[in-house]
Structure 1
Amino acid sequence: MADVDALVDVNEPEFAAALATVLRDLQAQSAVQPELRIDPAYGPVLYAPDGSGQGLTHPRGATTGDRLANLADQVQEWAVEALWTAGVAAVWPHCPEHPNSHPLRATVVDEAAVWACPKSGAVVARIGELERTPR
């Protein structure tokens, strides 16, 4: 599992808290889990079991909800690639309204970062509050 405490050491406590929130959802509903490393040149990088990595950015000047949804989108991109590489359904998080057809979308509703169905717009959960599912 990713060690988000390492981000606090690089003076990014807000980013660390946001990443911990998103990773809680990944841990609850994904078969693949990242290893977080801090690269001196690139900053935080999520590594997949196959060794591939994806850097993470934290946009400045946006609202808290927008920053969290943006980070969730980046982690989702990492997860879909890692799932595909692992040979399992490359959908995360699963949409409960449309199983195995598309992932939920990270967005902002009423200033809160949420996971929503991209077809119906229905909000499934706040980011960080997805229910644990069997893998």
Structure 2
Amino acid sequence: MDAELTAALVPILADLARPGGVLPELRDQAWNDFPGTASAFLYAQDGSGQGISITLGRPPAQQVAELADQVQEWAVEALWTLGRPTNWPFCPRHPHSHPLAAIEVHGRAVWHCPADRVEVAAIGRLPT
């Protein structure tokens, strides 16, 4: 798998491994041939898969935040099929209403509350 894609996935997978998350089966299968990108597939327990990708050469925090958004889409679907809450990662400020959103702020990839725009944690460091 591409080194930049792997590096961007590491903190996201760390967050998925925390309580409330779900881990994918990661497959090094390119699903697009766009120049300057790296891609792979995430698979859920039910066999469903979703492609993920990054644009190569971008700042790492941008890659992580953009990839976290894609992985979050996969996680919501995977959790739904398991009959578990789908607001991953849940917002500790509003735990029953929405998940956190991934953004890049001043060169850092973070999870923040989309309702009040408060930073909750760096991506890869979700509280347990």
Aligned twin of 1:35 = 25
Of 4, 11, 16, the match for 2:6: 16
Other structure's SS at 1:131 match = coil
The whole-number CA distance in structure 1 between the counterparts of 2:61 and 2:73 is 18
| Root mean square deviation of aligned Cα | 1.5
Aligned twin of 1:4 = none
Change over 3 Å in CA distance of 1:124–1:38 after alignment to 2 = same
Residue segments in structure 1 that go unaligned for 5+ positions in a row: 1-6
Question: In proportion to residue count, which structure has more helix?
Answer: 1
Alpha-carbon contact 2:17-2:23 (below 8 Å) kept: yes
Letter of the 2:9 counterpart: L
Shift of 1:49: 0.6
* Residue 97 (structure 2) pairs with residue 101 (structure 1): yes
TM-score (norm: length of structure 2): 0.88
CA deviations on 1:60-106 (whole Å, 9 max, x unpaired) are 35322211100000110000011111111111000000012100000
The whole-number CA distance in structure 2 between the counterparts of 1:130 and 1:53 is 24
Of 113, 116, 123, the match for 1:127: 123
Of 54, 77, 83, the match for 1:81: 77
Report how many residues are paired: 122
Residue segments in structure 2 that go unaligned for 5+ positions in a row: 33-38
Other structure's SS at 2:16 match = helix
The whole-number CA distance in structure 2 between the counterparts of 1:33 and 1:56 is 15
User: Aligned residues: percent identity?
Assistant: 50
Of 43, 63, 80, the match for 1:67: 63
Question: In proportion to residue count, which structure has more strand?
Answer: 2
Alpha-carbon contact 2:25-2:43 (below 8 Å) kept: yes
TM-score (norm: length of structure 1): 0.83
Alpha-carbon contact 1:29-1:131 (below 8 Å) kept: no
